[in-house]
Chain A
Amino acid sequence: MKKLLRELRQNKTCLIGVLILLFFGLMAVFAPVLAPYDPEELLGAPYLKPSAQHLLGTNDIGQDIFSEVVYGARVSLAVGLISAAVVTAVGSVIGIVSGYYKGAVDKVFTVLTNLAMTIPSLPLTILLVGFLKTGMLGMVVAICITSWASTARVVRSKVLQIRELPYIKIEKILGAPDILIMFKHILPNITDIVLTRCAMSVGGAMMTESSLSFLGLGSFTRKSWGNILHFAFFRSSILNNQWWWYLPPILCISLCMLGFMLITYHGRTRSQLIQS
């Protein structure tokens, strides 16, 4: 922990990234305290301008936009974190297994990975979300299906190097079970790559989520930032000059992305192996 803090103090870009994400994390956790209203509550007058009562006015059906944005952090971050956790887990396991066993297993997984990387991910995600039609869960599943491949590829290439190291060879000769070698002795050596990839996946998943919600494919019961932007844009807030409606979600998404970029930028310069 101390080491981490020292490193952060030395690395300004990473520190800024951490602070940005901390801000949004706290916003998500303390949403009920920060938001003056329930985001679902219909408060009466629609299209109100910003005032002391409604910091960012109200939307087309009279919900408080500020509360919506605060609660939106929960949905956006939840989708990002859950999908990233699954994507990283699946990608790492596939990467480790195919890098460790090589041979036929590796061939099969490599073909799968290449295929997954050729299929354009946004259209496939749109298609899947259209098929699954289950709101947030469907979105998480679709994101997972389409974005595990690059993690698997990066992890595999690193494992291919590690498996040739003497201590792994010795372990094999001693007859240690493969599972033990893979997850107890190889995995700890690639944690920085896995964590960096994980941060990138969170950013990527949030980006996909906001794009899909913007297109109107998200869940409508729980609004994310992309969803707020969807309603702001398609209820012509630009033509009505309601900048307090379309600007806050844009700022939140972009700042959040920036936070993840700054962190991964640091991680990437540390381990040159990781390619975007």
Chain B
Amino acid sequence: MKKKIIINRILISIGTIFLIITISFFLVNSMPGDPLVNIMGDEEYYKVKNSNPELLTQIAEKYGLNESLPQRYFKYLKSILTLDFGYSYVKNQPVLDVALYRLKWTLLLAVPATILSAFIGGWLGIAAGWNSSGALDRIMTPLALVMNTIPTNCVAIIVLAIFAYRLRWFPISGMTSGGLVGWAKARDVLWHMALPLLVMVLSRSCGNFIHMKSYVTQIKSEEYILTATAKGVKRSRILRRHVLKNCFLPYITVLCMQFGHIVSGSIMVEVVFTWVGMGDMMNSSISSSDFPMMQLCFLITAVCMVLSNIAADVLYVVFDPRIEEF
């Protein structure tokens, strides 16, 4: 039964990814204007047109621009299956190379941020939910709710103004000072990472806190908790054995969804701190109208979402024995 559910989910996900690829293809191809200009970007197109017109016909051939739309679509699908996502004429590199390099930096920032905020938000959420209307709950809940409403770029700018400009504790932008190797370089990157990491942890912890708190308060009012209390089970044991066990399932789903937003959620922070990652790349590829790059960015974020959705479903099925009954 469980196997069937998991297989079903995976099939749906494959379908979703296929649909997303199709959407991104038709978006680019239904755009007004010469598709060749769209693929290459305005500036590059005219540069090449003046210097090397033959290259234009070569590119047109490669993308099959002279063929009909369905033929082009199949060509596109085939090239994606062989992991050929096109060539960025703005950056003069295959888009995949650029994206992989950028992805590395995004993950360096986003993975620790997600893990840290999972622990911080979860732990505070448990504490506040278990002693609801205690001091922690009364301070943290309004704080987290308000933090959740302030857009990330605003938080980032304020943090930047205070810690980097006023106090000068941290650098204003960038990822390394350059010219360093080994241990010194690692320390330097960490120093540059501190502020963007702080902003991400802050905003995500608040979200996690609210989720975890609501799960704990919900489960606390269940009847089996009352029964356990009536039986004289210690409070700490109730928390560990009965409350936490049931909270972790929905919390895992929340965390998985966060991993899905790992790329798309860091756009704002990356732009503000000029952290040269995927989010920053997505932004710059729009302003330079580098469409192959944009397509790949969109595809990567979508695939992240789909994968994390599967992960959430599979973990749920694996950990929740009740699913067997359905």
Contact = CB atoms under 8 A, between A and B. Distances in A.
A115 B16 contact: yes
Contacts of A23: none
Interface string A111-140: 000010011101110111111000000000
A210 B151 contact: yes
Interface core residue of B28, B154, B267 (most chain A CB under 10 Å): B154
A241 B194 CA distance: 22
Contacts of A261: 145, 148-149
Interface in B5-38: 16, 19-20, 23-24, 27-28, 31
B253 interface: no
B16 A217 contact: no
A162 interface: no
A127 B294 contact: yes
Question: Interface of chain A, helix or strand or loop or mixed?
Answer: helix
B199 interface: no
A130 B294 contact: yes
Given A123-B264, A124-B298, A261-B149, A131 B27 contact: yes
A241 B148 CA distance: 26
B289 A130 contact: yes
Contacts of B282: 123, 126
Contacts of B271: 214-215
A127 B27 contact: yes
Interface stretch (A34-42, A180-188, A251-259): A251-259
Given A238-B157, A254-B149, A261-B149, A122 B264 contact: yes
Contacts of A130: 286, 289, 294
A214 B305 CA distance: 24
A265 B305 CA distance: 27
Interface residues of B, number: 46
A246 B145 contact: no
A216 interface: yes
Given A118-B305, A261-B149, A123 B289 contact: no
Contact of A250 (B157, B267, B268, B305): B157
A229 B145 contact: no
A101 interface: no
Interface residues on A, range: 35 or more
B159 to A, nearest CB: 11
A150 interface: no
B298 A118 contact: no
Contact of B20 (A119, A257, A260): A119
Contacts of B260: 120
A95 to B, nearest CB: 21
Contacts of B23: 119
Interface of B: 16, 19-20, 23-24, 27-28, 31, 145-146, 148-151, 153-154, 157-158, 160-161, 164-165, 172, 260-261, 263-265, 267-268, 271-272, 282-283, 286-287, 289, 294, 297-298, 301-302, 304-306, 309
Given A118-B305, A129-B286, A207-B151, 6 more contacts: A119-B305, A120-B304, A203-B149, A254-B151, A261-B145, A261-B149
User: Which 3 residue pairs are nearest across A and B when measured between Cβ atoms?
Assistant: A257-B149, A120-B264, A130-B286
Interface of A: 115, 118-120, 122-124, 126-131, 203, 207, 210-211, 214-217, 229, 233, 238-239, 241, 243, 246, 250, 253-254, 257-258, 260-261, 265
